[in-house]
Structures are given as structure tokens and as C-alpha cells.
């Protein structure tokens, strides 16, 4: 029997629930820690970023309008599908980073656990962070958190998977949609995770994954008028102060780079960072 040809995987972008190549046609080589060629990844352009924001904006109404219970079910489904593809992700992480299979397995397990942890908050965070405010008068005054809208994220650069999940999952809990620039050095797991998202009932456009140079793509996201928040958790290696200045022009909410973010502990604060508090006054019924 003749030996079969190896069929290398093609890593594309993930925009609007589809997997397009960059409109520019550009790719770049992804290499292992010893310089071995692993794959070509798409190098996203300014237009790819604009397209991703457009798809994310179109998906806000449906995702934010879904019940909190439904969003929790969808995020838990992501964890289920990721669990089923655990071996693939371990192999990719080992190839990209050079860590042992045991260490890669631990990272995949942590990523799965974080999806589950954030899924559990979907129908609980409002009760914890909302409030019935004391007022002087015959009124009820209620404050509730609502999604900000479209969140652009620069993912942690040193982590192949868990950093990406730690940045994306909390933004989804509240009903935001996301455009995320994956790690330039370790982008393969991000695109494989996009395949998981595409088969986990996540509506198209809720998560959009761009690969390539964060230094090239981030300025266009920071200045885009249809982006509502900018998470620079993985932007410590680029001029993130300039990104803050650009974002200020549209009054965009900005989270600065976070030291040690690749191993950040999941937190309620990362969920509420991408919410706006809405306060409603209602008269008390007269008896």
C-alpha cells in the first residue's frame, strides 16, 4: 500500500461565523520554538478588522437579547466540544510552545474549566452586581448591568490557549460580541478554538478571530467608531498608550495591559469591566 500524503491544516480567519482568508491574501509562517515550520496563518489587514467589527456589531442585538440562561448553555457547550477535541489542542500547544504534553494538557484543562466557570456566571452576575438603591421618595430605584456592545481584544501573546479564553469568555457573559487579535506567535490554537465555537451554537459574528500583527491591526480597532470597549490585556509589547489616545476620540472604554495576564485568575471584575450600569426609576403603587 502506498504511503498517504500528509494533508496540512489551513488556518484562516474567523469572521461572521465563516473562515475567510485575509482579503489581502497575506500569510505568515508560524514556527515552533526551535524554528520548525508549523503552518501558514492568515495575516489580517485593516479591511479584515473592519469586516470583523461589522459582523460583531450585527450580532450584538441577538446575543445580548438572548436569555442569560441560554448564553450560559452556549458557553458550557463550548467547554463540552473543547473537551472532545482535547488531544488535538494538546498536540498544537506542544508544537507551538515546546512544553511537555503534560503541561499542554494542563493548559487545555484550565481553558475548559474557565469556559465552565464563566458559563455559570451568565445568569448570576446581574443579581450580584445589580442593586435596589435607597431613595427618598415614593420610588423604586434599580440599577442593573447591561452589555457595552462590541469589545475589541488584544489576546495575551505568550499563551497559546488559556490566555485567549481568559480574555474572550468574560466579555461574552454579559452579552457583548468580540473581535479578538490572537497571539501572533501562537495563533494556531485560537483558530482551532474558532472551529469549536462554530460548532457550539455560538451565533455567527459573536466571536471574530483575527491573526497576524497586533501592532498593525490594533490601531484600526482602537479608532473604530463602532467599537465600544478595548481590552489591551495582551498589548504590553506594543505602543498601547497610543491605542488609548486613539480610543479616547470615540469615548471608548479601555482596559490597560495586565501583568501576568496569561495566568490570570478568572474574576467577576473581568465580566463587569464590559458592562454599563443602567438605572431605572419606577413609582411605588399607591394603595
pLDDT digits (tens, 9 = 90+) for 4-35: 887 878 899 999 999 999 999 999 999 999 99
Q: Which fold has domain 27-283?
A: Aldehyde Dehydrogenase; Chain A, domain 1 (3.40.605)
List residues bridging with 15 in a β-sheet: 18
Q: Tell me: pLDDT of 262 over 60.
A: no
* Cβ neighbourhood burial of 123 (10 Å; 0-12, 13-18, 19+): middle
Q: Is the pLDDT of residue 283 over 90?
A: no
CB 95 within 8 A of CB 121: no
pLDDT higher for 126 or 152? Answer: 152
Top-confidence residue, 249 or 7: 249
pLDDT band at 263 (very low <50, low <70, confident <90, very high): very low
* pLDDT given at position 219: 96
The grid coordinates of residue 285 equal 403603587
Domain boundaries, the chain: 27-283
Of 23-32, 33-42, 129-138, the least confident: 129-138
Percent of the chain, pLDDT > 90? 79
> Look-up: residue for cell 483558530?
191
Strand partners, 212: none
Rounded Cα distance, 22 and 135, in Å: 54
- Are the beta carbons of 207 and 168 closer than 8 angstroms? yes
Average pLDDT score, the chain: 92
Cβ–Cβ < 8 Å for 107, 122: no
Amino acid at each position: 500500500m502506498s504511503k498517504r500524503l500528509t494533508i496540512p491544516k489551513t488556518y484562516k480567519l474567523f469572521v461572521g461565523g465563516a473562515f475567510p482568508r485575509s482579503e489581502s491574501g497575506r500569510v505568515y509562517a508560524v514556527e515552533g520554538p526551535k524554528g520548525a515550520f508549523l503552518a501558514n496563518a492568515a495575516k489580517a489587514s485593516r479591511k479584515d478588522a473592519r469586516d470583523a467589527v461589522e459582523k460583531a456589531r450585527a450580532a450584538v442585538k441577538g446575543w445580548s437579547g438572548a436569555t442569560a440562561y441560554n448564553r450560559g448553555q452556549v458557553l458550557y457547550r463550548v467547554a463540552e466540544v473543547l473537551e472532545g477535541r482535547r488531544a488535538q489542542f494538546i498536540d498544537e500547544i506542544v508544537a507551538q510552545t515546546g512544553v511537555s504534553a503534560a503541561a499542554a494538557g494542563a493548559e487545555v484543562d484550565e481553558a475548559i474549566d474557565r469556559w465552565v466557570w464563566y458559563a455559570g456566571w451568565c445568569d448570576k452576575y446581574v443579581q450580584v452586581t445589580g442593586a435596589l438603591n435607597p431613595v427618598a421618595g415614593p420610588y423604586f430605584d434599580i440599577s442593573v448591568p447591561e452589555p457595552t456592545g462590541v469589545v475589541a481584544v488584544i489576546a495575551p501573546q505568550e499563551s497559546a490557549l488559556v490566555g485567549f479564553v481568559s480574555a474572550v469568555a468574560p466579555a461574552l457573559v454579559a452579552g457583548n460580541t468580540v473581535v479578538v487579535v490572537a497571539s501572533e506567535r501562537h495563533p494556531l490554537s485560537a483558530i482551532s478554538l474558532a472551529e469549536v465555537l462554530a460548532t457550539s451554537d455560538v451565533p455567527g459574528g459573536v466571536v471574530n478571530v483575527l491573526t497576524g500583527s497586533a501592532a498593525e491591526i490594533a490601531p484600526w480597532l482602537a479608532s473604530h467608531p463602532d467599537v465600544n470597549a478595548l481590552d489591551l490585556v495582551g498589548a504590553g509589547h506594543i505602543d498601547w498608550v497610543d491605542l488609548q489616545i486613539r480610543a479616547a476620540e470615540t469615548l471608548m472604554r479601555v482596559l490597560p495591559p495586565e501583568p501576568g495576564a496569561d495566568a490570570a485568575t478568572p474574576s467577576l471584575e473581568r465580566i463587569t469591566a464590559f458592562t454599563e450600569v443602567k438605572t431605572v426609576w419606577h413609582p411605588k403603587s399607591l394603595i
